[in-house]
């Protein structure tokens, strides 16, 4: 009975560890779109702003 609880605890722990969600990065290194526009010399910040697709 004790080993069954240990196996169950290990399976549960494994499920918790593998259920982590990866955060999608937009490649701006934490900078706002306007600052990336300044650094790159672009005329528009639209390519650097997530969700601004037309």
Residue-by-residue pLDDT tens, the chain, 54 positions? 889 999 999 998 888 877 776 666 667 788 888 999 999 999 998 888 887 666
For residue 53, being part of any structural domain is answered with no
For residue 29, being part of any structural domain is answered with yes
CA distance 47 to 41: 12
CA distance 15 to 35: 40
For residue 36, being part of any structural domain is answered with yes
For residue 42, being part of any structural domain is answered with yes
For residue 35, being part of any structural domain is answered with yes
Q: Mention every residue, 6+ apart, whose C-beta is less than 8 A from residue 40.
A: 48
CA distance 29 to 17: 26
Residue 8: give the domain boundaries.
Answer: 1-48
What is the tally of structural domains in the chain? Answer: 1
For residue 54, being part of any structural domain is answered with no
- pLDDT number for residue 27: 75
Residue 27 tokens read as 């490649």
């Amino acid at each position: 009975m004790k080993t069954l609880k240990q196996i169950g605890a290990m399976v549960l722990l494994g499920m918790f560890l593998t259920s982590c969600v990866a955060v999608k990065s937009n490649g701006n290194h934490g900078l706002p779109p306007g600052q990336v526009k300044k650094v790159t010399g672009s005329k528009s910040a639209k390519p650097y702003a997530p969700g601004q697709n037309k």
